[in-house]
Amino acid sequence: MSVWFVPGDAAARSMGADRVADVLTAQGLEVVRTGSRGLLWLEPLVECAPTRDGVRVGWGNVKAEDVAKGPPTATDASYLGEVEKIDFLAGQDRWIYQRVGVIDPLDPDDFVAHGGMSGLRAALAMAPTAVVEQVLASGLRGRGGAGFPAGIKWRTVAEQAPARHKGQAVDAPRHKYICVNADEGDSGTFADRMLMEGDPFCLLEGMAIAAHGVGADRGVIYLRSEYPDAIRVMNEAIEKARTQGWLGAGILGSDLNFDVTVRVGAGSYVCGEETAMLESLEGRRGMVRAKPPLPAIEGLFGTPTVINNVLTIASVPSILARGADAYAALGEERSRGTQVFQLAGNVARGGIVEVAFGISAHELVFGLGQGTRSGRPLKAVQVGGPLGAYLRADALDVPMAYEALAARGAMLGHGGLVLFDDSVDMAEQARFAMEFCVEESCGKCTPCRIGAVRGVEVIDDLLASDAPGDAEDLLRDLCDVMTQGSLCAMGGLTPQPVLSALDQFPEDFDGGRRGETSAGQGVAHEQAH
């Protein structure tokens, strides 16, 4: 009997995947719930194969009523043919997402059958220092936005002695921590969520490898409260990993003792910054810490702590399994390996694309994304989240890599690309950036806390003025103060989309426009979110 695969992640479930799975199950068919393949415009994407490991064919946008009288067939209009040959998937090089959409996320046997634990077994056969050297040699950089070399951070933690929690007695146990920041809050980003819902054991395997490399015994996943499905899946995966001997004492028969817990955040955007996350984990309001000390030396509860985001840690198992040299051979300049790009906003084909660094923004937007969903001309693409710069539609030849984007005054961030068509008012987008900072600032430093409020006021003055020169000068001065004086990237990067919109779309900042604000804000909000 054939096996049917129906995604069970949040995106597919929001489109009715649960009802489709229930109908197929009621017909006596074997149904496996997977993660999403990342072709989000086709969800629910239903697949079928003669066996679990057989070649799969698929159908897109399947509804429960479509399968009420029986499973879909090759004569249906929704039939897509062999799933792996769909052009959106065929050109990808999946190191992180190799199992997402393929396996049952909570089936340990399925995970192992598709290469799971190979990286950890390889790591445990090495000395800890050799594991760190492999990560260094791979060129892996933090995928959370800053792009700091992961191996350098790991080596720093490895060089520290374990420490007791601050305030504890001198004879208290000493620890090192692996903290995964899964507080994915940027607009247009969803790769962390899809990885945790689609292959949670991959993240746990990467954390165990990191623990072996740096000598950590405790792990924490800081997961945003807005992701209830990811919270549930990760907690179930942790329990099953303990049962399998993948977490706990003597992992896989080694002398590695390491366990993981999930901590749920309270919805603060700024907790995507590592020190604000630490404050939250320690039971305080999420506010940015001054550095030094660096978290690698004095992090969670005062102990040496590795802090990486989901995609960074999830890259590690494949690097250890396939080899650092193979990973470093991908990409360009100092941007090595693969990046998970997320296509969102006003896009015809939104979803996940994992390819080597260096693909052009044009190929992502027009080749894979197929332009705007509205069919109107593309006006701009925001790269790197709500604090990222805008690229004009005629300037998308830039390679998607850290150095190339920086040369254009942009940043990679978490790899999200949000598309806007020509109906969007870019002055209102600039205003939205300042409003966003007003709402999300932790309030610790004046340039961010007060500067964003003044920024909204100055943009309003600029848009209402028939002679906006003075207001524009003031806005640029204010942006410079925020960039230079803010304690963290929240205030420091807020000027980036503002100045980007101002420089590249000056026609949208003409005076006497305040009467159009409401309509412009509505369109901008709809396309960005």
Task: For residues 307-323, give the mean pLDDT.
Answer: 97
pLDDT at position 511 is 65
Query: In 10 A of CB 53, how many CB atoms?
Result: 12
Q: Residue 465 — pLDDT band, cuts 50, 70, 90?
A: confident
Q: What is the pLDDT of residues 20-41, one digit of tens each?
A: 999 999 999 999 999 999 999 9
Q: Is the Cα dihedral 326, 331, 336, 340 positive or negative?
A: negative
Q: Residue 395 is part of a domain; what is its CATH number?
A: 3.10.20.600
Domain hosting 462: range is: 426-528
pLDDT at position 467 is 65
* Largest Cα–Cα separation, the chain: 74
pLDDT at position 512 is 54
Question: Is the pLDDT score of 522 beyond 70?
Answer: no
Instruction: Examine residue 7 and state whether it is found in any structural domain, yes or no.
Output: yes
Task: For residues 158-167, give the mean pLDDT.
Answer: 95
Name residue, tokens 């004569």: 75
Cα–Cα distance measured from residue 428 to residue 413, given in angstroms and rounded to the nearest whole number? 22
Angle, helices 451-464 vs 426-440, to 10°: value is: 160
pLDDT at position 500 is 95
Alpha helices in 1-42 (DSSP H): 10-14, 17-26
- Asked if 131 and 123 count as a contact pair (C-beta separation under 8 A), the reply is yes
User: Residues 324, 370: one domain?
Assistant: no
- Which 3-state string (H, E, C) describes 233-268? HHHHHHHHHHHHCCCECCHHHCCCCEEEEEEECCCC
Question: Is the pLDDT score of 249 beyond 80?
Answer: yes
- Pairing mode, if any, of strands 3-7 and 331-332? unpaired
Q: What whole-number percentage of the chain has pLDDT above 70?
A: 96
Instruction: Examine residue 272 and state whether it is found in any structural domain, yes or no.
Output: yes
Task: For residues 195-222, give the mean pLDDT.
Answer: 98
Q: What is the pLDDT of residues 63-96, one digit of tens each?
A: 999 999 999 999 999 999 999 999 999 999 999 9
User: Residues 307, 179: one domain?
Assistant: yes
Instruction: Examine residue 98 and state whether it is found in any structural domain, yes or no.
Output: no
User: Residues 395, 278: one domain?
Assistant: no
Q: For residue 356, what is the enclosing H or E element?
A: strand 351-356
The residue among 64, 90, 116 that closes a domain is 90
Mean pLDDT taken over the chain: 93
Helix (H, G, I), strand (E, B) or coil at 39: strand
pLDDT at position 267 is 85
Report which residue type is found at 116. G
User: Residues 436, 510: one domain?
Assistant: yes
Cα–Cα distance measured from residue 373 to residue 361, given in angstroms and rounded to the nearest whole number? 17
Residue predicted with more confidence, 91 or 517: 91
User: Residues 313, 350: one domain?
Assistant: no
- Asked if 102 and 361 count as a contact pair (C-beta separation under 8 A), the reply is no
DSSP letter (8 states) at residue 149? B
User: Residues 81, 165: one domain?
Assistant: no
User: Residues 128, 45: one domain?
Assistant: no
Cα–Cα distance measured from residue 167 to residue 283, given in angstroms and rounded to the nearest whole number? 15
pLDDT at position 525 is 47
Question: Is the pLDDT score of 176 beyond 60?
Answer: yes
Number of domains making up the chain:
4
Chain centre distance of CA 144: 7
Considering just the CA atoms, what is the radius of gyration of the chain in Å?
Answer: 24
Q: What is the pLDDT of residues 191-205, one digit of tens each?
A: 999 999 999 999 999
User: Residues 440, 414: one domain?
Assistant: no
Question: Is the pLDDT score of 219 beyond 90?
Answer: yes
- Asked if 414 and 183 count as a contact pair (C-beta separation under 8 A), the reply is no
Cα–Cα distance measured from residue 297 to residue 314, given in angstroms and rounded to the nearest whole number? 23
Question: Is the pLDDT score of 330 beyond 90?
Answer: yes
User: Residues 114, 192: one domain?
Assistant: yes
Residue predicted with more confidence, 291 or 179: 179
